[in-house]
């Protein structure tokens, strides 16, 4: 009997790469594979398109010696955050989303997405883009007044970004689930369409480190609040007593498996219910 596929899109963090994220998430994927013996689990690890220079790395300090030519390093990002733009702007985000759209089109469909840090932020954005009706939100927030309404004064005014061209006509169903490790919401008015009118509908498990000194707690909570329902009360927020990394201890691996199983079983029940209704000889 052939096993049902369980396909996962894996999005690495800023300064990482696909192969590096593969190494860092090995325990998680191994645990998922073991937990779903009736599924053919596969994880695809694309590398982000923006190759970073040493100066792009947080904490980089140039040498006092005469400057040497920029060496190439194996560090990549889905976008660069502008340090001067007000409101905040993600440079190269279109290229990052286009790279993900290419993988979705060529290697999909994927059941779910798992992202870390910047990859988790992108995972939430991509999940939103695949949802039905999301284009309408981008149309609404394209107006500067609408996008800037209610935004904190210090964040500045701006029109919302346009719906990404790479997702226009993309044939891929919404994700069944997403796991965001050290994730966060993109700030300011430019990116509201990813999170509002409506809130993100895709079920997301948020896994956060209580000692994370890289992603501010308020940014992670902003992503949680952008999700439909009450994620905290629904068991979709998990804290681990560590910093900015994927926890590999058993309780946090079990939490990921439990969440994925709930989403898959929920979808299976929904499909079965729809089939039962279609089989009924009732003139609706």
Q: What is the rounded CA–CA span in Å between residue 162 and residue 151?
A: 19
Burial, 223: exposed, middle or buried (Cβ in 10 Å; 0-12, 13-18, 19+)?
buried
Catalytic annotation, pick one of 111, 166, 212, 220: 212
The active-site residue out of 17, 25, 111, 117 is 117
Catalytic site includes residue 212: yes
Q: Do 224 and 234 meet the contact criterion of CB atoms below 8 Å apart?
A: no
In which element (H, E) is residue 42 found? strand 39-44
Q: Which residue, 10, 66, 7, 69, is CA-closest to 39?
A: 7
**pLDDT tens for each residue of 191-215:** 999 999 999 999 999 999 999 999 9
Residue 201 structure tokens: 């509908």
pTM (2 decimals)? 0.90
Q: Does the annotation count 117 as an active-site position? A: yes
Domains of the chain (ranges plus CATH)?
A: 4-57+71-279 (3.40.50.1820)
Q: What is the pLDDT of residues 234-255, one digit of tens each?
A: 999 999 999 999 999 999 999 9
CA-CA distances (angstroms) from residue 202 to 32, 199, 253, 262? Answer: 20, 9, 20, 13
- Given the residues 39, 95, 244, 248, select the one marked as catalytic: 244
Q: Tell me if residue 206 is catalytic.
A: no
In this structure, what token pair is assigned to residue 283? Answer: 């003139």
């Amino acid at each position: 009997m052939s096993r049902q596929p369980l396909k996962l899109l894996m999005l690495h963090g800023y300064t990482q790469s696909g192969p590096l994220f593969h190494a860092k998430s090995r325990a998680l994927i191994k645990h998922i594979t073991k937990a779903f013996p009736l599924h053919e689990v596969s994880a695809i690890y694309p590398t982000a398109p923006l190759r970073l220079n040493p100066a792009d790395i947080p904490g980089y300090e140039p040498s006092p010696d005469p400057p040497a030519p920029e060496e190439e390093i194996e560090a990549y990002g889905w976008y660069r955050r502008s340090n001067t733009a007000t409101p905040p702007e993600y440079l190269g985000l279109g290229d990052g989303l286009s790279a993900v759209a290419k993988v979705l089109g060529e290697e999909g469909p994927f059941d779910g997405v798992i992202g870390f840090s910047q990859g988790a932020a992108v995972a939430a954005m991509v999940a939103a883009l695949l949802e039905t009706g999301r284009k309408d939100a981008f149309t609404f927030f394209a107006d500067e007044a609408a996008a800037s309404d209610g935004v904190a004064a210090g964040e500045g005014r701006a029109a919302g970004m346009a719906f990404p061209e790479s997702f226009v006509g993309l044939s891929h169903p919404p994700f069944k689930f997403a796991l965001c490790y050290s994730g966060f919401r993109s700030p300011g008015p430019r990116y509201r369409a990813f999170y509002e009118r409506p809130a993100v509908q895709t079920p997301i498990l948020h896994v956060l480190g209580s000692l994370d000194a890289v992603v501010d707690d308020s940014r992670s909570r902003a992503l949680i609040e952008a999700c439909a329902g009450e994620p905290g009360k629904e068991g979709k927020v998990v804290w681990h007593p560590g910093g900015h990394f994927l926890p590999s201890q058993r309780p946090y691996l079990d939490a990921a498996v439990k969440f994925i199983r709930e989403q898959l079983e929920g979808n299976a029940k929904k499909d079965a219910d729809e089939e039962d209704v279609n089989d009924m000889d009732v003139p609706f």
